[in-house]
Amino acid sequence: MPGIPVSIIVAVRNDESDLAQCLETILRQDFGDFACIIVDDRSEDSSLTIAERFAARDPRFRIIRQQAFSGTRATAKNTGARTTTARTVLFLEPSSKLLGASPSALGRAVARAERVQDEERIAGVLMESARARPGTESALLRRDVFLQLGGFDESMSHEAEADFWVRLSREGYVLLPANSPDAPHAAERPRETPCHSAGKEAARRATSSPKTPIPSTASPSTASPSTASPSTASPSTASPSTASPSTPSPFNASPSAASEQTRQVHGAIRDLRTQREVQIVFAPHKDYHAWTMLRSVPRLEAEGIAFAFIDSTGNHLDEGARARIRAAHVPWVSYNNYCFGQFSPRLFVVMNDWEPQIRALVEDANAKGQTTVALIEGVQDFTDADIHQRRAPYQRARHVLLSGAFDQQFFSERTQTHVVGVPRLDELRTEACSFPTEPLVIANSNFSYYVLADMQPMWLRSVATACKKLGVRMVVSRHPADRGDFSGYEVTPWSMYEAIRRGSIFVSRFGSGIIEALAMGKPAIYHNPHGEKVIKFGQSMGAYPVTHDVDSLVSALEAELADRTDRRGRAKSFLDHHVAWSAPKPSTELFADALVHLCRASTK
């Protein structure tokens, strides 16, 4: 898409009744040098099929599908703007129609736009009335300006566009009129827009309170991904204003006055000054990533270290990180708003540095000289021995926080490593260990993310056969991402931890559950009849049996079930080597210590 003058971005979510007509009007307009990016926010109707039909018909149409429902059109619009390389962007609602000559009329306005000197860049009137504020459909926006101002605020459900105009005004931009009857091109069908009662009240207070001048905000030279300032970038319809500085901005009375209150309640960071003050950014994409990272928050707050969490839902699968972050009421920012914002943290912290969306942020942080930190998320196949793709886990972050000394062998001297253990074991290790009256075998089926998935039926059948020979009950603990066939098996609704607590013994292939069972005092068996190559559990150091077929599993089960004692003492050497079991501090404290130390040692 390089060199395309304009990208028309259409954010779609269950818009089958309007989308085809909207896209037809794009095809019929008189300006041919464009790209249309259709961002589907996990529609549940035929919207995606309609979009695919247009993409097959015309190569200028391109489809991006969000990985999970983001909850707001602002996310889909930002994704489109982030993806394109066009000089200007035009946002179109699926319920709107594009008049035939409108892009050309807007293009002529771009050509007439003039630059002004930075000292002339002042905030002015965008519209005569806040009630008549423009929609983004009425404006051709310079992409570098849109990105530099942070894009649409994804923490807002309905007033994201109005909020964007406020920020545009604060930076001294106005919309130049196209002076063409074709310019007001968005003929949107009437519809009712929900308005939050708290927003109405905040707007009422804003209109009745004395107005204060909007302070001038200098254009940061380090804006990412664009570094163009409003006074030096190429002209467009979003251009610096030469209006009188005494003219009050009607946006002081806009309903978007409620937006700051809303953002404070939900913890979303949109203020540029606040963004630049953040010292540590966390980028979880799973619920337990967020849970682990959140354990460092009390220490960071005590040290006065400003931090923020990235919510990547929409750009990544929804694996619970958003819910965990929001429930904790901590500062957060959406993935797109982070990319568009003024963040320049000392530390960028992840638990996975190879997943594409997060990997891009890690590599960008490295390029900017920020300190990148990765906490190992669990037991790891560091060499991708059983994974049919090259992930190179934890080879991108400059500092890696290891679970134990065992992990050190997989890192060269160029990577700084620090042993911190596994924070989630801190509470498990103090639990009392008890056994059920009747033997209960927990078979942990975790053939997830397509790793050795074809081996799942054989593995599960072998455990079931061994249990049948011994006459003991077996229940299956199923990993949420294991898509295998469980018909004919008793699958427990318990979490894995609860299954370990209630069971007599835990049988698993490669997985963190073996370590967690030992940490809780329960016996475990590493059962590997399928010949997986990863070496993590091959040497048990006396902590648990290793079995390779039904007969060896029967013998191991018989011996382990006869011993109803806490296994933590027997497993100490193994746990010391793999999870720093005998460290002088709990893992949570070691993790927080490492973050504070690295933050203090880093320079922006």
3-class secondary structure, 6:
strand
Looking at 228, 258, 288, the residue that finishes a domain is 258
Segment of 200-204, 340-344, 364-368 carrying the highest mean pLDDT: 364-368
308 and 378 fall within a common domain: yes
Residue 207: inside a domain, yes or no? no
Question: Residue ranges of the alpha helices (H) in 39-170?
Answer: 47-57, 73-83, 102-112, 143-148, 160-170
Q: Tens of pLDDT along 537-567?
A: 999 999 999 999 999 999 999 999 999 999 9
339 and 484 fall within a common domain: no
Owning domain of residue 489: 429-579
401 and 485 fall within a common domain: no
Q: Is the pLDDT of residue 203 over 70?
A: no
Q: Tens of pLDDT along 376-410?
A: 998 999 999 998 788 899 999 999 999 999 999 99
Residue 603: inside a domain, yes or no? no
Residue 35: inside a domain, yes or no? yes
Q: Read out DSSP for 28-40?
A: HSS--SEEEEEEE
Burial class of residue 561, CB neighbours in 10 A (0-12, 13-18, 19+): middle
Looking at 404, 421, 438, the residue that finishes a domain is 421
User: Band of the pLDDT at 139, cuts 50, 70, 90?
Assistant: confident
The whole-angstrom separation of Cα 153 and Cα 263 is 9
Counting the structural domains of the chain, the total is: 3
The whole-angstrom separation of Cα 441 and Cα 434 is 14
Q: Between vectors from CA 76 to CA 74 and to CA 79, what angle results, nearest 5°?
A: 110
Per-residue pLDDT, 109:
56
Residue 80: inside a domain, yes or no? yes
403 and 526 fall within a common domain: no
- With CA atoms as reference, report the closest residue to 287 among 306, 268, 309, 266: 309
501 and 398 fall within a common domain: no
pTM, two decimal places = 0.68
252 and 304 fall within a common domain: no
Q: What is the domain-level CATH number for residue 15?
A: 3.90.550.10
83 and 163 fall within a common domain: yes
The whole-angstrom separation of Cα 270 and Cα 533 is 47
496 and 349 fall within a common domain: no
Positive/negative CA dihedral, 570, 573, 579, 580: positive
Per-residue pLDDT, 554:
98
413 and 543 fall within a common domain: no
249 and 289 fall within a common domain: no
3-class secondary structure, 173:
strand
The whole-angstrom separation of Cα 398 and Cα 373 is 6
How big, in percent rounded to 5, are the helix, strand and coil portions of the chain? 35, 15, 50
Q: Is the pLDDT of residue 59 over 60?
A: yes
Q: At how many degrees (to 10) do helices 456-470 and 550-562 cross? A: 50
The whole-angstrom separation of Cα 188 and Cα 134 is 13
Residue 595: inside a domain, yes or no? no
414 and 472 fall within a common domain: no
Looking at 391, 421, 451, the residue that finishes a domain is 421
- With CA atoms as reference, report the closest residue to 83 among 248, 295, 315: 315
Q: Is the pLDDT of residue 8 over 60?
A: yes
Residue 283: inside a domain, yes or no? yes
Residue 183: inside a domain, yes or no? yes
Q: Tens of pLDDT along 70-90?
A: 888 899 999 999 999 898 899
- With CA atoms as reference, report the closest residue to 22 among 30, 31, 12: 12
In the block, which residue shows the tokens 């990533």?
289
Q: What is the domain-level CATH number for residue 324?
A: 3.40.50.2000
In the block, which residue shows the tokens 């080597």?
577
In angstroms, what CA-CA distances link 378 with 76, 375, 512?
32, 9, 6
100 and 124 fall within a common domain: yes
Residue 459: inside a domain, yes or no? yes
Per-residue pLDDT, 124:
32
